[in-house]
Structure 1
Amino acid sequence: MPVSQLPSQPTDSNSSAATDVTPVVALKELVARLHREQNKIQDLLSSLGFALRSFNNLNQFLELIPLMATRVTDADGSALFLYKPNGQVRLEQLHWQDSHQRKHIRKALETATSQITLLPNTAPLANATGVLDAQMHRYLGPDMQIFGTAILVKHAERGWLYVLSRDPEYSWTETRQKLVRLVADQTAVAIENDELAVELRKKERLDQELEIGAEIQRRLLPRQCPSIPGITLAARCKPANRVGGDYYDFIPTKQNQFQLNSKDIISLETGRWGFVIGDVMGKGVPAGLIMTMMRGMLRGEVLHGNSPAAILQNLNQVMYADLENSHRFVTLFYSEYDPKNRILSYSNAAHNPPLWWHAATKTVTRLDTLGMLIGLDTNSEYEDAQVQLEPGDTIIYYTDGLTEAASAGGDRFDEENFVDAFNLACRHCNGAEEILDYLFNRVYQFIGADKQNTDDMTLVVLQVNG
Structure 2
Amino acid sequence: MSNKPPRPHQAQDSRTFPQSPTAFVSLRQLLDSLTKEQLRNQELLVSLGFALRSFTNLHRFLELVPVLASRLAGVEGALVVPFLADGRIWRDQLQADPSELNQDLLSKLLMFKQGMAKGFASDESQLIALDRVVQRHMPKAGIFATSLVARGRQRGRLYVFNRNKPLVWSDIHRRHVQLVADLTGVAVENDQIVQEVRRHERVDRQLSIGAEIQSQLLPDHCPIIEGVELAACCRPAFEVGGDYYDFIPTRPEFVGPKREKGRWALVIGDVMGKGVPAGLLMTMLRGMLRAEVLTGLSPDRILHDLNQLAQEDLAQSHRFVTLFYSDYDPYSRSLRYANAAHNPPLLWKADQKSVSRLDAPGFLIGLQSEADYGLGEIVLSPGDVLLYYTDGVTEAAGLSGDRFDEERLIKALEICCRAGLSAQGILDKLFLRLDRFVGGDHQLEDDASMVVLKVREELTLPSLHVSLP
2:201 to 201, 204, 226: 204
Query: 1:154 & 1:441 partners in 2: Cα distance?
Result: 45
Secondary structure of 2:410's match? helix
- Is the contact made by 1:350 and 1:370 (CA closer than 8 Å) also made in structure 2? yes
Secondary structure of 2:113's match? coil
TM superposition shift of 1:411: 1.1
1:340 is aligned to 331
Alignment of 1:50-449 (within 5 A): 50-82=50-82, 92-96=94-98, 103=100, 105-110=101-106, 112-113=108-109, 116-118=112-114, 120-121=117-118, 126-128=124-126, 130-140=128-138, 142=140, 144-152=141-149, 155-165=152-162, 170-254=167-251, 257-259=253-255, 267-268=258-259, 270-428=261-419, 430-449=421-440
430-439 or 358-367, larger mean C-alpha shift: 358-367
- Is the contact made by 2:224 and 2:260 (CA closer than 8 Å) also made in structure 1? no
TM superposition shift of 1:299: 1.1
- Structure 1 residues 113 and 443, CA gap change in structure 2 (3 angstroms): closer
1:262 is aligned to none
TM superposition shift of 1:9: 4.7
Query: 2:342 & 2:133 partners in 1: Cα distance?
Result: 68
Measured against aligned partners, the alpha-carbon deviations of 1:144-169 in whole angstroms (never above 9, x if no partner) come to: 32222123355454532221236857
Amino acid at match of 2:94: E
- Is the contact made by 2:114 and 2:120 (CA closer than 8 Å) also made in structure 1? no
Amino acid at match of 1:367: L
Amino acid at match of 1:194: D
- Structure 1 residues 15 and 280, CA gap change in structure 2 (3 angstroms): farther
- Structure 1 residues 91 and 402, CA gap change in structure 2 (3 angstroms): closer
TM superposition shift of 1:428: 2.0
Secondary structure of 1:242's match? coil
317-326 or 342-351, larger mean C-alpha shift: 317-326
Secondary structure of 2:59's match? helix
Query: 2:365 & 2:231 partners in 1: Cα distance?
Result: 26
- Is the contact made by 1:78 and 1:95 (CA closer than 8 Å) also made in structure 2? yes
Query: 1:406 & 1:384 partners in 2: Cα distance?
Result: 33
TM superposition shift of 1:404: 0.9
- Is the contact made by 1:88 and 1:116 (CA closer than 8 Å) also made in structure 2? no
Q: Gapped runs of 5+ residues in structure 1?
A: 97-101, 260-264
Q: What is the identity percentage for the equivalent residue pairs of Structure 1 and Structure 2?
A: 47
- Structure 1 residues 371 and 131, CA gap change in structure 2 (3 angstroms): closer
Query: 1:457 & 1:177 partners in 2: Cα distance?
Result: 61
Amino acid at match of 2:425: E
Secondary structure of 1:205's match? helix
TM superposition shift of 1:405: 0.8
Query: 1:323 & 1:79 partners in 2: Cα distance?
Result: 52
Secondary structure of 1:63's match? helix
Query: 1:209 & 1:306 partners in 2: Cα distance?
Result: 37
1:461 to 415, 435, 452: 452
Secondary structure of 1:331's match? strand
- Structure 1 residues 378 and 177, CA gap change in structure 2 (3 angstroms): same
- Structure 1 residues 83 and 388, CA gap change in structure 2 (3 angstroms): closer
Per the normalisation by structure 1, the TM-score is 0.87
Query: 1:58 & 1:272 partners in 2: Cα distance?
Result: 64
- Structure 1 residues 150 and 387, CA gap change in structure 2 (3 angstroms): same
Q: Gapped runs of 5+ residues in structure 2?
A: 458-469
TM superposition shift of 1:409: 2.3
2:463 is aligned to none
